[in-house]
Amino acid sequence: MLRNVYKHSAPFLPMEPITITFLGTGNAVPTKLRNHTAILIEFLNEHVLLDCGEGTQRQFKIAGISPAKLTRLLITHWHGDHVLGIPGLFQTLAMSEYQKTLDIHGPRGTQRFLHAIEELFRDFKINTRVSESEGVIVDTPEFTIEARPLPHGPPTLGYSIALKDRRHLDKAKIQKLKLPNSPLLGQLQKGKDIMVKGKKVKAKDVSYIEKGKKVVVILDTGMTDSAVQLAQDADLLICESTFSQEETEKAREYKHLTAVDAATIAKKAKVKSLILTHISQRYEHSPRIIEKEAKKIFKNTKIVKDFDVVTV
């Protein structure tokens, strides 16, 4: 399994990790080794499933992960290999007596398609909350999720999940100044200066900023500047690489990316690491062809297989 694709270099303990489990890494046709696309992203108290290809509920079982932990479902687009597992997942959640409200976000048409699923399969009921907006779709004090449109044919979104920078108090400096354990420390934590016994204590002098983390997922799309903008300065870019360089013309025809395209996006966006997924059955027994092509452009590239786990 892949581990520690990117490690903090700061001298203090890093914030909570973002853990990514690849439940499916294939493209339109599943193979013996690769299931349809599904990516589980876990951080803080969030358990986010990005896309839900056919058989995803079984992939959860094999990985030893309970789907009942899910808090969100992000859908990139409504092609079958990315969504055919939704009815089965919903049925599994209902049979598990899922108690949460599942937040679902997707491109235009998502509400209509989910309603059709509910009409077709009436033997399950779970609480859902559906949205179809673009831009920053989730903004909490700790993290944001952004959705950006990408060109692929049907309405399609790429996603960015970013943990925000955090300010930490330097305990040694706090103790040296003999600052009282009071709400004043909370002001310093927020970056505000305080007055103690007539003396000004500047927040910048007794605290430090811990850099946040950013993971971006770009699946089915044609080559576009929007992908570069979304991936800008990401710690990790997870990107489709459906075609090899010799099939560039076909990639353009079907609005997909080659391995070289994925690496070019990573390089232009100045990301730290690139992971290739959505691998075609053409490369079932020779996926290194894809990886090798990408590495010529962007060295820190890896190709994943089903059930690989990556921690950022």
Residue 76 C-alpha from the chain's centroid = 11
Counting Cβ atoms within 10 Å, is residue 39 exposed (0-12), middle (13-18) or buried (19+)?
A: buried
Q: Does the annotation mark 81 as catalytic?
A: yes
Among 117, 43, 111, 55, residue whose Cα is nearest residue 81: 55
Burial class (CB in 10 A: 0-12, 13-18, 19+), 294: buried
The active-site residue out of 51, 81, 103, 306 is 81
**Which residue, among 162, 136, 131, 163, has the nearest Cα to 147 in the 3D structure?**
136
Question: In a 3-state reduction of DSSP, which class is residue 43?
Answer: strand
Report angle CA 163, 84, 1 to the nearest 5 degrees: 50
Q: How far is CA 208 from the centre of its chain?
A: 27
E-strand stretches of 125-218: 127-131, 135-139, 143-150, 156-163, 166-169, 194-196, 199-201, 207-210, 213-218
| Assigned token pair, 254 | 């079907």
CB atoms within 10 A of CB 290: 25
| Residues 73 and 102 sit within 8 Å (Cβ to Cβ) | yes
Q: What amino acid positions are annotated as catalytic residues?
A: 81
